[in-house]
Amino acid sequence: MTQSIRWLQSEIADRMLQKLDIVKLDPRDVLLIPDFPGAHAEFLSRRFPRMALHHAAEEGLSGIDLWRLRIARQWRSIFRGGSSISLEVFQRTGRIGLPDNSVDLIFSNLLLQDLQDPRMFIKECWRVLREGGLLTFSYLGPDTGKELLGMELSGKLGLKPLLSAWDMHDMGDALLGAGFSDPVMDMEFLTLDYESDAVLLSDLQALHLMQTSYVGQASSELPKKLTLELVYGHAWALGKHLSKAQNQLAYIDPNQIKRKISTDSA
């Protein structure tokens, strides 16, 4: 994302936080991935005042924005703990820079559609979440930018589909496959209206729906609106000591079985 679409990140974060409002959770450690300038971290800090905040700053932040973000997070970490991890390293290696079973809540806003394989992210979330932890997320679904389909200018503008155009069912299946429990998925459409083609082109670049190298002129053939399919979801990390067979039956690890010793006297 870039500054031109910052309002969208903040709006979706607000909607995610409203959905989180009904969740019963008292996390010690929270991961924001990606993290960006906005009110979401402050809201979480008020909602969970004892939490330590771990964050992965989004890529593309300008020097001053990145500096301000890090200072704000580091100031809180002095008192509550927390750490900074690299989003770039995750995107390159598929590894979230945190230990196993180290966080209770993962808050991920508009990231999954830009990943080559969201399954890797889901597996990493399962790894770093503690037993009983929660993954909550949002991403752009496959109907995003449907007005652009079949446009003759597609090649000239460098239009491209989302890297991972997953619908709700794809995500729900992937969550269950990774071991998550009780996934809840939701979807809504948001329509953006444009009076300026230049603003539309800027947003398309920010949403990674066109090549960022495009520097051409606007065209009267461009649509005057853009549809965003917004997918929301959350799922719980429960039974991490269990392994699930293909038939969905759960089997207890033998190390978890302990003999009950009676204290009754003979």
Please name every residue paired with 106 in a beta bridge, in sequence order, or none if there are none: 31, 135
Compare 166 and 2 and report the one with higher pLDDT: 166
Among 2-16, 68-82, 137-151, the range scoring the smallest mean pLDDT is 68-82
pLDDT at 261 over 80: no
- The C-alpha atoms of residue 244 and residue 173 are separated, in whole angstroms, by 14
> Phi and psi for 144 in degrees, rounded to 5?
-65, 130
Report which listed range, 46-60, 65-79, 201-215, 240-254, is most confident: 46-60
CA–chain centroid gap for 83, Å, is 18
Domain residue spans of the chain: 3-256
Per-residue pLDDT, 97: 95
- The C-alpha atoms of residue 262 and residue 265 are separated, in whole angstroms, by 8
Amino acid at 12: I
Per-residue pLDDT, 253: 46
Predicted TM-score (pTM) of this structure: 0.83
> Which stretches within the chain are classed as H helix?
6-20, 40-47, 63-80, 87-93, 118-128, 154-157, 168-177, 197-206
| Domain 3-256 belongs in CATH node 3.30.70.2080 | no
